[in-house]
């Protein structure tokens, strides 16, 4: 395996900011992953695992250790007797390629997650979700390297403790596991999920149920309109997707805020989030706090097509992105008393 030195990391991310990795190892097999981990340990260097780079902000000074890019490829499917078809993919497989493969096989379960950038291995970490589906609904098992024992293990869905944008991989067991492979149990000839309002609106005038392929195409179109689909040269899509999580607040706080907002002639949008809680759209809070779509702060800005995406308008630094993030967080806190939590992983800060 080739381990390179001083490799610029910005081109490996969709946001396109950040300095170099001291060492950079691209690993194509489980053996190479272990080799790269041993390389870092032998030099007592910190390790950072890179997937598709679609949910990352890398600091301008870069990363002072070993960046391990997981490029394990290969995907296959099988149907165990009397069970749902299983799709098994290496962590380095492009996410949307896998989704396309499942839709082509007329298997339901991932169609609403079409058009999301990144790799398969990144999806369990933050329990990727969109348009009414989350990977936690279909993940059967996650094959991992346990960095404590340097053993390969299989974690069941339950062992991953998935919740909204969260799992053990980004909370209790952060930095413990490297994801090598993920398996998804799907539904052969299943009905597509058309639960999310945007999707229902898209199909409002059509007769009959849409097919999986039609839902996939609709999701890609909706994502494109919001610049949440990576299109080369589209400045509004040079982002890390949603920059903040949608805050989940207690019902009592929601009611109090609703009343306050109503007295200004506005209606606070919200979604159910389990007993006693409401989820608020961070994009709405950002806009109402005065950061409208297209807002600019130097070379960083807010997408013209979605208030939740911070974009690199060309030549932005990580410091520019963070300065805008800080300004938005302070504005929303001041206006609504809510501390927005960043959604992307911040590396090297």
Is 198 an interacting residue with respect to ligand EPU (CB under 6 A)?
yes
**What residues does 153 pair with on adjacent strands?**
144
Is 50 or 130 the residue whose CB approaches ligand EPU more closely? 130
Please identify which of the residues 214, 221, 235, 343 carries the catalytic annotation: 343
Task: Tell me which residues in 120-139 interact with ligand EPU (CB under 6 A).
Answer: 130-131
The token duo for 20 is 């170099």
Tell me whether residue 345 is exposed, middle or buried, using C-beta atoms within 10 angstroms of its C-beta: 0 to 12, 13 to 18, 19 or more. Answer: middle
- Please pick, from the candidates 15, 72, 300, 308, the single residue that binds ligand EPU as defined by CB under 6 A: 308
Is 27 or 119 the residue whose CB approaches ligand EPU more closely? 119
Beta strands in 147-233 (DSSP E): 151-156, 177-185, 187-188
- Please pick, from the candidates 140, 245, 297, 304, the single residue that binds ligand EPU as defined by CB under 6 A: 245
Tell me whether residue 199 is exposed, middle or buried, using C-beta atoms within 10 angstroms of its C-beta: 0 to 12, 13 to 18, 19 or more. Answer: buried
Q: How far is the CB of 332 from ligand EPU (least distance, A)?
A: 12
Is 165 marked active-site? yes
- Please pick, from the candidates 190, 269, 331, 342, the single residue that binds ligand EPU as defined by CB under 6 A: 269
In the complex, residue closest to ligand EPU by CB: 241
Is 71 or 307 the residue whose CB approaches ligand EPU more closely? 307
- Please pick, from the candidates 242, 270, 312, 329, the single residue that binds ligand EPU as defined by CB under 6 A: 242
Q: Tell me the three-class secondary structure of 10-56, residue by residue.
A: HHHCCCCCCCEEEEEEEECCHHHHHHHHHHHHHCCCCEEEECCCCCE
Instruction: Please name which of 44, 51, 53, 43 lies closest in space to residue 73, comparing C-alpha atoms.
Output: 51
Is 224 or 253 the residue whose CB approaches ligand EPU more closely? 224
3-state class of 164 per DSSP? coil
Is 103 or 308 the residue whose CB approaches ligand EPU more closely? 308
Tell me whether residue 264 is exposed, middle or buried, using C-beta atoms within 10 angstroms of its C-beta: 0 to 12, 13 to 18, 19 or more. Answer: exposed
Backbone angles phi, psi at 27, to 5 degrees: -110, 130
Is 193 an interacting residue with respect to ligand EPU (CB under 6 A)?
no
The binding site for ligand EPU (CB under 6 A) comprises: 130-131, 196, 198, 226, 228, 241-242, 245-246, 269, 281, 283-284, 287, 293, 306-308, 343
């Amino acid at each position: 395996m080739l381990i390179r030195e001083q490799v610029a990391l910005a081109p490996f991310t969709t946001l396109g900011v950040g300095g170099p990795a001291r060492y950079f190892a691209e690993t194509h097999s489980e053996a190479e992953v272990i080799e790269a981990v041993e390389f870092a340990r032998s030099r007592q260097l910190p390790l950072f695992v890179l997937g598709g780079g679609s949910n990352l902000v890398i600091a301008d000074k870069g990363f002072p250790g070993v960046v391990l890019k997981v490029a394990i490829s290969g995907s296959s499917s099988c149907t165990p007797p009397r069970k749902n078809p299983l799709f098994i993919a290496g962590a380095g497989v492009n996410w949307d390629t896998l989704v396309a493969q499942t839709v082509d096989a007329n298997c339901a379960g991932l169609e609403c997650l079409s058009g999301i950038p990144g790799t398969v291995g990144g999806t369990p970490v933050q329990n990727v979700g969109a348009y009414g589906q989350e990977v936690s609904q279909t993940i059967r098992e996650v094959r991992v390297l346990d960095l404590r024992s340097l053993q390969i293990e299989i974690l069941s869905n339950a062992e991953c403790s998935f919740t909204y944008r969260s799992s053990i991989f980004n909370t209790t067991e952060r930095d413990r596991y490297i994801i090598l492979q993920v398996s998804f149990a799907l539904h052969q000839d299943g009905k597509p999920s058309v639960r999310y309002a945007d999707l229902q609106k898209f199909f409002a005038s059509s007769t009959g149920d849409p097919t999986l392929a039609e839902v996939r195409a609709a999701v890609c179109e909706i994502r494109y309109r919001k610049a949440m689909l990576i299109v080369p040269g589209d400045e509004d899509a040079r982002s890390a997707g949603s920059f903040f999580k949608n805050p989940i607040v207690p019902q009592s706080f929601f009611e109090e805020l609703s009343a306050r907002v109503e007295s200004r002639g506005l209606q606070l949008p919200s979604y159910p989030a389990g007993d006693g809680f409401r989820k608020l759209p961070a994009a709405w809070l950002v806009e109402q706090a005065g950061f409208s779509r297209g807002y600019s702060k130097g070379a960083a800005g807010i997408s013209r097509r979605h208030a939740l995406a911070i974009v690199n308008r060309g030549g932005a630094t990580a410091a520019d992105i963070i300065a805008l993030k800080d300004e938005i967080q302070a504005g929303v806190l001041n206006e609504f008393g809510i501390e927005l939590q960043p959604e992307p992983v911040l590396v090297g800060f």
